[in-house]
Amino acid sequence: MKLEAVEIVRVAMPLVTPFRTSFGTTTTREVVLLRAVTDQGEGWGEAAVHAEPFYNEEFVDAALIVLERFLVPMLCELDHLTAEAVRPALRLVKGYPAAKAGLEMAIFDAELRAQGISASHALGGVRTRVPVGVSVGISPNLGHLVDTVERYVEAGYARVKLKIEPGADLEPVAAVRERFSDLALQVDANAAYGPGDHAHLLGLDTFDLVMLEQPFAREDLAAHATLARELRTPICLDESITSADLAAQAIELEACAIVNIKVGRVGGLLSAKAVHDRCQDLGVPVWCGGMLESGIGRAANVALASLPGFTYPGDLSGSDRYFHQDVTEPFVVEDSHLAVPEGPGLGVTVRPEVLDELGAERHLVRPS
């Protein structure tokens, strides 16, 4: 396959409700989509990157520059482009895992469409539907939080993740646990705590949580391992896990018992599969994280979550939990699950009229 051009699409998608984490509030998702134009047809990918460099160092403006100046030209030079060839071809560029993941996804989509194979099938998926989960942002007050969770439970979400931070942790978790005694409940700190919060975090053990996600800085595997020795609640790592090797190291150090896999954080669907495979070898369960993706990134996440090692429900919700209008056909929750797309490639189609309505900026990059 030969890459002829890549169209970079930037589209501001207003969220149905603002999403607050320990590192800020998102009201509009700045979505980056990539359309790969090849001699075998087209494919779409999503670079799951945020407007600010608060989750990791990558952010939209920087990702757009690195795509246009470095990543797309490097791929356009290849005579035999495949999804497998993307990562090695881009290895000179350090970082920018979500930009690389978006490109790989677009090439993978084009390649699989040409072959008539679904992404789930190509990755080794074993499920035709995946259980939904929802990530609930930090709420202005306890009443608002409990009402929000209640709406999700009524909509079929049997697993709920609460965002926490110092000053908004034990109380909100207690309020939700008191109201929903059977709910599969977990919390995510996005690295908001320090080793000095160790004793305070042990207080989470009273709420029968499925896991505590990323309490400490991503570099600090030792702090996670120290907490894991005393906390009964299993620790899951998100930000810390950027490759299969780092996953193996974290597991070896007993810094985590569960791994969150995000396509954009680990540099692509194929790397995500590699993290999954390594964790499976080591007997560690994984689940699919989310970055408030549009339908393109969501299709990739759902395909990934159809792999056998994804034994916990992911942060995979219906499109209507995020957006009034998605850029593809919406993902709809049915019986607490999302269907894994069966069509070739990602199995979803971008609706150009929605891009137009949302005022998307589109820019074609071709080799000079």
Q: Which residues bind ligand OSB (CB under 6 A)?
A: 55, 135, 188, 190, 238, 289-292, 315, 317
The answer to whether residues 234 and 211 touch, using CB atoms and an 8 Å cutoff, is yes
The CB-of-8 to Mg ion minimum distance in angstroms stands at 27
- Per-position x/- string for 231-270, each x denoting binding to Mg ion as judged by CB under 5 A, each - no binding: -------x--------------------------------
| Catalytic residue flag (residue 262) | yes
Given 94, 100, 161, 163, the catalytic residue:
163
Nearest to 267 by CA among 30, 102, 123, 119: 102
**94 in catalytic set:** no
CB of 291 to ligand OSB, least distance (A): 5
C-alpha 93/C-alpha 128 separation (Å) is 36
291 binds, among ligand OSB, Mg ion, none (CB under 5 to 8 A by kind): ligand OSB
Among 7, 58, 111, 188, binds Mg ion (CB under 5 A): 188
315 lines the binding site for Mg ion (CB under 5 A)? no
CB of 82 to ligand OSB, least distance (A): 28
CA distances from 263 to 3, 71, 297, 314 (A): 22, 17, 9, 13
Q: Residue 317 binds what, of ligand OSB, Mg ion, none (CB under 5 to 8 Å, by partner type)?
A: ligand OSB
Which one from 94, 100, 161, 262 is the annotated catalytic residue?
Answer: 262
For 307, list phi and psi in degrees, rounded to 5.
-75, 155
Q: How many other CB atoms are there within 10 angstroms of residue 20's CB atom?
A: 18
In the complex, least distance from residue 10 CB atom to ligand OSB, rounded to whole angstroms: 18
Sign of the C-alpha dihedral computed for residues 195, 200, 202 and 204 taken in this order: negative
Please identify, using beta-carbon distances, which residue of 108 and 323 lies nearer to ligand OSB: 323
The label of the residue with tokens 């469409």 reads 113
Q: Give 209 or 291: the residue with its C-beta nearer to ligand OSB.
A: 291
Q: How many residues bind Mg ion (CB under 5 A)?
A: 3
Rounded distance between C-alpha atoms, residue 152 and residue 145, angstroms = 11
Partner whose footprint covers residue 294, from Mg ion, ligand OSB, none (CB < 5 to 8 Å by kind): none
Q: DSSP labels for 290-357?
A: --S--HHHHHHHHHHTTSTTB-S--S---GGGTBSS-SSSPP--BTTEEEPP-SSBT-----HHHHHH
Does the footprint of Mg ion cover residue 293 (CB under 5 A)?
no
Task: Give the chain's end-to-end CA distance (angstroms, integer).
Answer: 19
Cβ proximity to Mg ion: between 46 and 238 the closer is 238
At residue 109, the 3 state secondary structure works out as: helix
The minimum distance between CB 135 and Mg ion, in angstroms, equals 8
| Closer to Mg ion by Cβ: residue 23 or 207 | 23
How far lies 346's CA from each of 149, 216, 302, in Å?
A: 30, 34, 9
Inter-residue contact 122 to 112 (CB < 8 Å):
yes
Which residue lies nearer to ligand OSB by CB, 312 or 365? 312
315 binds, among Mg ion, ligand OSB, none (CB under 5 to 8 A by kind): ligand OSB
Closest CB to Mg ion: residue number: 238
- Cβ proximity to ligand OSB: between 104 and 188 the closer is 188
> Would you please indicate which residues are annotated as catalytic (active-site) residues?
163, 262
Applying CB under 5 A, the residues found at the interface with Mg ion are: 188, 213, 238
